[in-house]
Amino acid sequence: MEMALAFWMSIGSCLLCVGYGIWKWNDAGTPDKVTITVDKTE
């Protein structure tokens, strides 16, 4: 039973990844505001 759950959850998580990828295929998110190099070290 436990192993069957692991088996199906593995397949389910793969389908989740596929679904998310298709859903967000063209979503680039908000554009980056800052692309400068900041190197603040002590």
Partner 1 sequence: MTIKILVTLAYMGVVFLLGYKGWKETRQADDYLLAGRRINPFVMSMSYGATFVSTSAIIGFGGAAGLFGFPLLWLTFLTIFVGIFLAMIGFGKRTRRMGLALGCSTFPEFLGNRYQSRFIRSFAGLIIFLFIPVYAAAVLIGIARMLEVSLGLSYTLAILGITAILAVYVITGGLKAVMYTDAFQGSIMAVMMLILVVYTYSLLGGVVDAHQYLTDMAPLMPEKLKAGGMLGWTQGARVGSPLWLTIYTTIIYGVGIGVLAQPQLAVRYMTVRSDRELNRAVLYGGIFILLMTGVAFIVGALSNAVFHKLFGNISIAMAQGNMDKIIPTYIETVMPDWFSTLFLLAMFAAAMSTLSSQFHVGGTSLGHDLVAPESGSAMNASRIGVLVTIAAALIWALVLPPSVIARATAFFFGLCAAAFLPAYMLGLYWKGMTKTGAKVSMVGGFTASMLWLLFIHKKEAVAIGLCKALFGTTTLVSEAAPGSWIFLLQWVDPNVIALPLSMLLAVSVSLAGQAMEREHVKVCWSNC
Which spans of this chain sit near partner 1 (rule: CB under 8 A)?
Answer: 2-3, 6-7, 9-11, 13-18, 20-22, 24-29, 31-42
Cα–Cα dist 25/8, whole Å: 25
Query: In angstroms, what is the minimal distance from the CB of 8 to partner 1?
Result: 9
CA angle, residues 30, 32, 36, in degrees to nearest 5: 170
Rg (C-alpha) for the chain, rounded Å, is 19
Query: In angstroms, what is the minimal distance from the CB of 1 to partner 1?
Result: 10
